[in-house]
Structure 1
Amino acid sequence: MDYILFNGKMVAAGDFNPAGHWLKPHFSLKEKMWFANGQIPFFPDHIRNIEEILALAGKTWPAEIPPQKELVRLSLRLINKNKAFMAGWLSLELLFSPRKSSFLATVERHPSRIFPFVQQGKTAILSPFPKFSGNPFSRHFFYAAHLWETEEFRRESDETAEPLFLNEKGMLTEAAGANVFLIKKNSFLTPSAGTGCIISTIRERILWSAGETGFLVAESDRITPEQMLDSDEIMLASEERGFLWISGIENRRFVKSNAMAIWKHVCKTCFPRVS
């Protein structure tokens, strides 16, 4: 990353000095979104996320932060300035202060225009920390991030395993930074919003793609660990992390037969390539 965007101005990353800005009390919201082919396809979804959080907190969009159309224009300029011509992720952070709010954007390059599918399967574990379902902020990444970070801190010696979280009722909710999808024969199942799971920007598109590829799609707030272990495949996905598949939990092993077909359908319909 060569340049960042701070309050509408392009700044060389090495020259960026926020001075005392980050030392002042503030509340921040960060959204990470995929871009490719000169497009940021889910930018409006991320703005809606921020607006929903502000509404829940009884706040309005700060006057110092440009509207969506201008933020898109500035973000595309930043992507071009960083010569991220293939693809990557744009991180947009809004920093709220009673005196003056600010915004910061950074770019992370990706070497391919194709939305990522991590080919190497990962093992998973169940976190001992519950995700509480009753909070309206639970669906948002910023709120769940502290839980994920605490779990990562707990298992510092075993960072390779993907933690899966149950709620206070013992039902499956999410992975760290990704939604969970279970495949059993022709059934495609995911935890419902009622579990308190995060709702990633591509979750609905994945459910639609699963239906289009022939699966019976369902959401449930009653997925037990035993039901999860009885699956044929377990897939994790979010715009921030791409697609991943779980190869095993304890002694149980899973396959990767259908996950790639769903990934390909999502790529074709949500991230069209420019010829």
Structure 2
Amino acid sequence: MPPLSPDHTALSPFTRDDRIYLGEGLFETLRVQAGKPCYPDLHWQRLHDSAARLHIAIELPYADWLQRLQQCLLEPKEPVNGVKALLSGGRAARGLLTTGTDPQLVLTAFHYSPVTTPLTLVSSSWQRDRNNPVYGFKSINYLEAIMARRQAAERGADEVLFYNMEGEATETTVANLFMISGNRLYTPPLSCGLLAGIIRQRLLTKAGDWGVVCQESPLTQHQLYDADALFVCNALQGVQAVQRLDNTAYDSHHPLFLLLREKLKDDALA
């Protein structure tokens, strides 16, 4: 391992007194398709709303957001298909109750390989508190997700599915959950304790236009085991079929899943 720089700030865009080092920060990950960011308006709105709830004083008109994204995509010499936007909590004196000033927004373009194979999920060994407000933010604090993903790997699975203490399914470490049953679409409501994902929002908004019945409803483990199909979704990967949850196998090529996958391809840049 190379020696650490004596001035750690030389390796970071954030000052030493930025509240990002307390875990106070937000991020968005945008998929880039045909050289353009997908759903930039929805990502901007979520970032703006979340910052307001955390009292992070960000002044970022939508036009400036688009300009920053476009500039970010012009910088890399290699092809990219994603952008990460990281917003810090800002500079502040020591202490948990202090409010940051001068928050920093750092955009980074990157390349990733989309996952095209169906996923294997396992139920998490711990439950979440649905009243915990942290789950409603796309926060930089990913320690729980890291621990859960490692647990999944140890159990021979790709991902963990979380449940709350009432036994209701919530989400995976990085994606929202949908269930197909009787050719209808179901997804847990935000009140179960989960993030309002961008693709989740689009499916709820557009399903009716696509001739699909979609509703928010608490989902138990028993209901998931009895489902015709499951899939998860996020902004980078789109929709991903689930082939197995614990010991239950599913149709990873369900016609409704295939329909939604095709519809979302056109919707991303609409």
TM-score w.r.t. length of structure 1: 0.79
- Identical aligned pairs, as a percentage? 18
1:184 correspondence with 2:186: no
Q: Identify which range, 75-84 or 238-247, moves more after superposition.
A: 75-84
Measure how far apart 1:58 and its partner are.
Answer: 3.4
2:107 alignment counterpart = 105
Of the candidates 207, 232, 239, which is equivalent to residue 235 of structure 2? 239
1:124 alignment counterpart = 121
2:226 alignment counterpart = 230
User: Take 2:228 and 2:42, find their aligned partners in 1: how far apart are those partners?
Assistant: 31
TM-score w.r.t. length of structure 2: 0.80
1:70 correspondence with 2:68: no
2:259 alignment counterpart = 261
What letter corresponds to residue 67 of structure 2 in structure 1? R
Measure how far apart 1:101 and its partner are.
Answer: 2.9
User: Take 1:262 and 1:73, find their aligned partners in 2: how far apart are those partners?
Assistant: 31
Unaligned runs of 5+ in 2: 1-8, 93-100
1:5 alignment counterpart = none
Secondary structure of 1:134's counterpart equals coil
CA 60–192 in structure 1, closer or farther in 2 if over 3 Å, else same: same
What letter corresponds to residue 75 of structure 2 in structure 1? K
Measure how far apart 1:83 and its partner are.
Answer: 4.5
Secondary structure of 1:120's counterpart equals coil
User: Take 1:200 and 1:213, find their aligned partners in 2: how far apart are those partners?
Assistant: 19
Secondary structure of 1:34's counterpart equals strand
Does the aligned pair in 2 maintain the 1:145–1:177 contact within 8 Å? no
Measure how far apart 1:106 and its partner are.
Answer: 0.8
Q: Identify which range, 36-45 or 229-238, moves more after superposition.
A: 36-45
Q: Identify which range, 164-173 or 238-247, moves more after superposition.
A: 238-247
Measure how far apart 1:266 and its partner are.
Answer: 1.3
What letter corresponds to residue 32 of structure 1 in structure 2? T
User: Take 2:50 and 2:78, find their aligned partners in 1: how far apart are those partners?
Assistant: 30
1:18 correspondence with 2:11: yes
1:163 alignment counterpart = 160
Secondary structure of 1:130's counterpart equals strand
Does the aligned pair in 1 maintain the 2:119–2:159 contact within 8 Å? yes
What CA RMSD, in Å, does the superposition of the two structures yield over aligned residues?
2.6
Q: Identify which range, 70-79 or 183-192, moves more after superposition.
A: 70-79
Q: Deviations over 1:15-42 (max 9, x none)?
A: x943583644423221111122343232
User: Take 1:49 and 1:205, find their aligned partners in 2: how far apart are those partners?
Assistant: 13
Does the aligned pair in 2 maintain the 1:152–1:159 contact within 8 Å? no
1:80 correspondence with 2:74: yes
Q: Identify which range, 16-25 or 132-141, moves more after superposition.
A: 16-25
Q: Deviations over 1:145-202 (max 9, x none)?
A: 3321221244453464311000121101111111100001221100011101111112
User: Take 1:241 and 1:41, find their aligned partners in 2: how far apart are those partners?
Assistant: 12
Q: Deviations over 1:208-234 (max 9, x none)?
A: 44333433211113x110001111110
Does the aligned pair in 2 maintain the 1:209–1:266 contact within 8 Å? no
Q: Deviations over 1:39-85 (max 9, x none)?
A: 323222222222222322234326xxx54322321321221221566
1:202 correspondence with 2:208: no
Measure how far apart 1:137 and its partner are.
Answer: 3.6
CA 269–20 in structure 1, closer or farther in 2 if over 3 Å, else same: closer
CA 74–128 in structure 1, closer or farther in 2 if over 3 Å, else same: same
